[in-house]
Amino acid sequence: MKHIKIINRKTLAHTVPDGGCGECRTSCQSACKTSCTVANQKCENPRTQKRPLETAR
């Protein structure tokens, strides 16, 4: 594309079928202790991580 560069095409929807296992770290245990940031926690679920990108061509 001429006008757009895709930085991330992996969508949240692809985590719906296998997500929610609860194995990932609790965000407040990492460094903050006074505010909540969840998006920097790594997914621990191998099934979710292996699922192909549903929006990828």
Binding-site residue total for other proteins (CB under 8 A)? 48
Site for other proteins in 22-41 (CB under 8 A): 22-41
By CB under 8 A, residue 4 contacts other proteins: yes
- Rounded least distance, CB 6 to other proteins, Å: 6
Other residues' Cβ atoms within 10 Å of the Cβ of residue 54: 12
The count of C-alpha atoms lying within 13 angstroms of the C-alpha of 52, restricted to the half-sphere facing its C-beta, is 4
| Matching residue, tokens 């920097």 | 40
By CB under 8 A, residue 52 contacts other proteins: no
H or E segment to which residue 39 belongs: none
Candidate list 8, 46, 50, 52; residue touching other proteins; CB under 8 A: 8
